[in-house]
Amino acid sequence: MNRAGTDSAGRTGLTPEQAVDRLEFLHARACDALREALARFTRSGTVPTEEQRRAFRYPELRVDWQPSGTVHFTRRAWAKFQSPGLYSTTITQPAFFRRYLLEQLRPLVGEFGARLEVGVSDQEIPYPFVTEEGDEFIHGELSVSELARYFPTPVLANVGDEIADGTWVFERRRSRPLALFDALRVDFSLRRLLHYTGTDWRTIQPWILFTNYQRYVDQFLAWALEELARPAGPYVRLVLPGGVIVRREDSATVASAAIAAAPWHRFQMPAYSLQRSDDRGGVTIVNIGVGPSNAKNATDHLAVLRPHCWLMIGHCGGLRQSQTIGDYVLAHAYMRRDRILDDLVPPEVPVPALAEVQLALQKAAERVTGEQGDALKRRLRTGTVVSYDDRNWEFRWSQERRRINLGRAIAVDMESAALATQGFRLRVPYGTLLCVSDKPLHGEIKLPGAATSFYQRAVGEHLRIGLEAIDLLRGELGSLHSRKLRSFDEPPFR
């Protein structure tokens, strides 16, 4: 089979490289046309014509698979077809997603003989998605309502997760979905990421740590500066909320001043990204704060970047007498008492632990703590985590006691179940390693002095375990994107 994908009828399509080049050209042309029309309207009030508006459209990628003879078999969880037919999706930011697109398209063409086509879709690009800070047409006296009269705007009825949630309806003579998210949904989330995290989405890395305490961020920043100071280290740049950047060549004084000046407090879920010089992907840490709503919000939008993995490293309450403050909990199941995703993933649907992630977290704990076997088991316990949407769940202990007992829960928090469920729902590998910071059922609560001592001792080690796990998972990409996360009618793209 040639790289251009000749199908059973002898028709030759584009090569993957040609297809992505064409996507980049069409997307850039459409964005330029929309920006130029906005500028004209700002200067002279000139309204775009219907013909001009037809230029404000996303490119569309179409993949046609009509097999003949023996069908190629692969155990890979992605870049494969569930059934013959035409698959399509609209594409945004193809230059940024170029590597991802080629990773998906090359096997579809090379192994399956699919034929690629690229054209202009019927989906308009909303004008807010082509504006950048400093553009003259987003300042001045023009009102949003005035722009909305003449230019495309985000229509919420067209922005949804029907494909990811399996509620899309197949219709004859219409293409099947090629990807979980179309261009409109992706662009919507890219803008929300900037708003909530204070970080340009282009700088967010494919390996993501979530935490619910700022102290983990402080430790991450200290580690990042150490990595940047290593002459032969792989990390080259630290991106802070508000667009502040610390580079490898910056002095310690300059770096510390940049970190102190970063306006992280202006953003609901500030993100910090340490970037590498190679193609293995750096690390982003996001402080999602407290509660499952923030956890769902962050992951709804980060998922469109198709990260390799997200891990929760935060604090929990220990529920067993045998646990000690500072012990670790490796979640292998979740009691979803937060209820935030019950309509999308019903409570009876299991959210499985992913073996690759579980093993990496346990191996990382061994390496960082220096403990193995029984010694490690005394500090790291595997079990069920119960997550609530109410920080004061203790006030309902008489009602919750039986359920916690039946579930054999060993720890309680507010974010882990939502993060894991979102990973399962949106096909992003996930894992949870928590640190016991108090034992609410046994009278061991966090008092000011004890809390300070605990934080100083535990946070740094816990963060290093998460980072070590990511290093281990970098070498297991082939198995990390597990078939456990794929349904029987999945789109071809990961």
Q: Which position has the higher pLDDT, 138 or 325?
A: 325
pLDDT tier at 146, thresholds 50, 70, 90: confident
Domain limit, last residue, from 140, 160, 184: 184
Q: Are strands 409-413 and 115-124 parallel, antiparallel or unpaired?
A: unpaired
Return mean pLDDT, the chain.
93
218 and 154 assigned to the same domain: no
Tell me: do 144 and 286 sit in the same domain.
no
* Judgement on whether residues 253 and 385 belong to the same structural domain of the protein: yes
Q: Provide the token pair at 52.
A: 């001009």
Domain shared by 417 and 270, yes or no: yes
Give the pLDDT confidence score for residue 169 in this predicted structure.
87
Q: How far apart are CA 69 and CA 87, in angstroms?
A: 20
- Single residue among 160, 184, 208 that ends a domain in this structure: 184
Rg of the chain taking only CA atoms, in angstroms: 24
**Is residue 9 a part of any domain in this protein?**
no
Residues sharing a CB contact under 8 Å with residue 177, sequence separation 6 or more, in sequence order = 87, 88, 89, 163, 168, 491
Residue 93 is which amino acid?
Q
Asked whether 457 and 338 are in contact (CB, 8 A), the reply is no
List, for residues 63-74, the tens digit of each pLDDT value. 999 998 888 889
Is 492 inside any structural domain?
A: no
Range 286-301 burial, b when 16+ CB lie within 10 A, else e: bbbbebbbbbbbbbbb
Strand order in the sheet with 115-124: 115-124, 57-65, 85-90, 176-177
Contact 151, 37 (CB under 8 A): yes
Confidence (pTM) = 0.94
- Provide the pLDDT confidence category of residue 1 given band limits of 50, 70 and 90: very low
Place of tokens 């490796």: 330
Residue 311 sits at the vertex; the CA angle it makes with 307 and 312, to the nearest 5 degrees, is 140
| Whether residues 370 and 458 fall in one domain | yes
Count of structural domains within the chain: 2
Asked whether residue 32 is domain-assigned, the answer is yes
Residue 5: other Cβ atoms inside 10 A: 26
Written as six digits, the tokens of 64 are 């046609």
Residues 161 and 225 in one domain: no
Domain check: are 58 and 137 in the same one? Answer: yes
Residues 101, 47: one domain? yes
User: Of the residues 165, 184, 203, which one is the last residue of a structural domain?
Assistant: 184
Q: Are residues 198 and 173 in the same domain?
A: no
Tokens 């080259």 sit on residue: 236
132 in any annotated domain: yes
CATH number at residue 267: 3.40.50.1580
Residue 167 lies in a domain: yes
Q: Give the pLDDT mean for 172-201.
A: 96
Given this model, what pLDDT does residue 172 score? 83
Give the Å distances, CA to CA, from 112 to 5, 11, 12, 349: 8, 14, 14, 33
**pLDDT tens digit sequence for 283-335:** 999 999 999 999 999 999 999 999 999 999 999 999 999 999 999 999 999 99
What pLDDT, on a 0 to 100 scale, did the predictor assign at position 69? Answer: 84
Which structural domain range is residue 407 located in? 194-484
Residues 248 and 220: their CA atoms lie apart, in Å, by 16
469, 322: one domain: yes
Residue 358 lies in a domain: yes
CATH number of the domain where residue 126 is located: 3.30.1730.10
pLDDT attached to residue 136: 56
Type of residue found at 36: E
